[in-house]
Amino acid sequence: MKSILTIEHIKKEFHHHTVLKDISFSIPKGSIFAILGLNGAGKSTLLNIIMDLLKPTSGMIKMNGQTISKDKIGIVFQENTLDAELTIYENLFLRGKLYHINKKQLHQRILTLSHEFGMDAYLKKQYQCCSGGQKRIAMIARALLMNPEIIIMDEATTALDIETRKKVWNVLLKRNQKQQLTIFFSSHYIEEAIYATDLCILKEGTIAYTGTYQNLISEYSKKQLEIKMKDTTIKKEITDTSSAFYYLKCLDFNKIDTICISNSNLEDIFLKLVHYENAHL
C-alpha cells in the first residue's frame, strides 16, 4: 500500500538527552494509524516534529515521497487554539480564509461540518462560552476545513466524555471510508486503538512495535487465566486449559470467587511491550 507519510531515522536530543532514537516507519495512505506509549515515551515530540513545530536533530519526513505539503495536513493540537471572543462559526470562517477557500464554498463546508459534528445548536456561540467538549469538536472541525489528505491529532479526545468521543470518531471513520482520509493520532485511551488499522508503540524513545493491528493481536495475544479471590486477583499467562487446571490445583478453592480464561487484550499486550525487555521473545 502506498505511504502518505514516511518517517526516516528521526532522532531528537534536548540538552544532550536523547528523546527519540532512530525512529522509522511509514503511514499507509487511507489508514487509521495510532501512536501509543506511556507518558515520556516521545509521542508528542514525534508529532511536533511531523507537524513542523520542532526540528529533528537528524532524519527526515516525507509526504507522498516529497517534502511535506502543509495545506494537505489538518492538525489538532493538544491545546485549544481558537479565538475566545469569536463564535465558532467566525473562528472557522477566519481560518478557512487563511486557506484561500472561496467564500461560498467555505460557508457550505462549515455548515456541512457543523451538521456532521452536531454543532448546529452552538455554531454561533462565543468560543469562550462553549463547553470543553464543544471546543474540542470545533478544533477537529477546523482541521478538516480544507479537506486534508491526512489529519494529525495529538491527544485530541482527552477529557471528552464517552458520548462525545464516539461522535467525533463516527465522523472521522465516515470520512476515512468515503474520502480515504488518513487519520494519524495519539491517545491516552488505549480503547481508541481499536479504530486503528496500523499502529506504532513507543518505549523510551524507541519503537517497541510497528505494523498492523491484526498482526499485533495475532503475534502477542496469549491465553490468560484470571482468578478472582476474596482478597486479591491473580492473572497468569497459560498455554492451554490443561496448564490452567494444573495451576488451579495449587490453590485453595475455598478462597476462589471466579475463574476466567480469555485471550490477552490490547491493554495487556501494550503493557507487556512497554514494560518488559523480552517482550519479543
The domain spans of the chain are: 3-83+142-216, 222-263
115, 128 Cβ separation under 8 angstroms? no
Q: Look at residue 156 in the predicted model and tell me its pLDDT.
A: 85
Average pLDDT over every residue of 78-84: 91
Average pLDDT over every residue of 219-248: 84
Average pLDDT over every residue of 88-115: 95
Q: Look at residue 280 in the predicted model and tell me its pLDDT.
A: 39
Average pLDDT over every residue of 39-59: 92
262, 248 Cβ separation under 8 angstroms? no
242 pLDDT above the threshold of 90: no
Alpha-carbon distance of 155 to 44, in angstroms, equals: 9
114 pLDDT above the threshold of 80: yes
278 pLDDT above the threshold of 80: no
255 pLDDT above the threshold of 50: yes
Average pLDDT over every residue of 146-151: 95
Question: In three state form, how does the secondary structure of the chain look?
Answer: CCEEEEEEEEEEEECCEEEEEEEEEEEECCCEEEEECCCCCCHHHHHHHHCCCCCCCEEEEEECCECCCHHHEEEECCCCCCCCCCEHHHHHHHHHHHCCCCHHHHHHHHHHHHHHHCCHHHCCCEHHHCCHHHHHHHHHHHHHCCCCCEEEEECCCCCCCHHHHHHHHHHHHHHHHHHCCEEEEECCCHHHHHHCCEEEEEECCEEEEEEEHHHHHHHHCCEEEEEEECCCEEEEEECCHHHHHHHHCCCCHHHEEEEEEEECCHHHHHHHHHHCCCCCC
279 pLDDT above the threshold of 50: no
Average pLDDT over every residue of 8-25: 95
36 pLDDT above the threshold of 90: yes
CATH of domain 3-83+142-216: 3.40.50.300
Alpha-carbon distance of 150 to 164, in angstroms, equals: 22
Q: Look at residue 276 in the predicted model and tell me its pLDDT.
A: 60
Its pTM stands at 0.85
192 pLDDT above the threshold of 80: yes
277 pLDDT above the threshold of 80: no
Average pLDDT over every residue of 80-86: 94
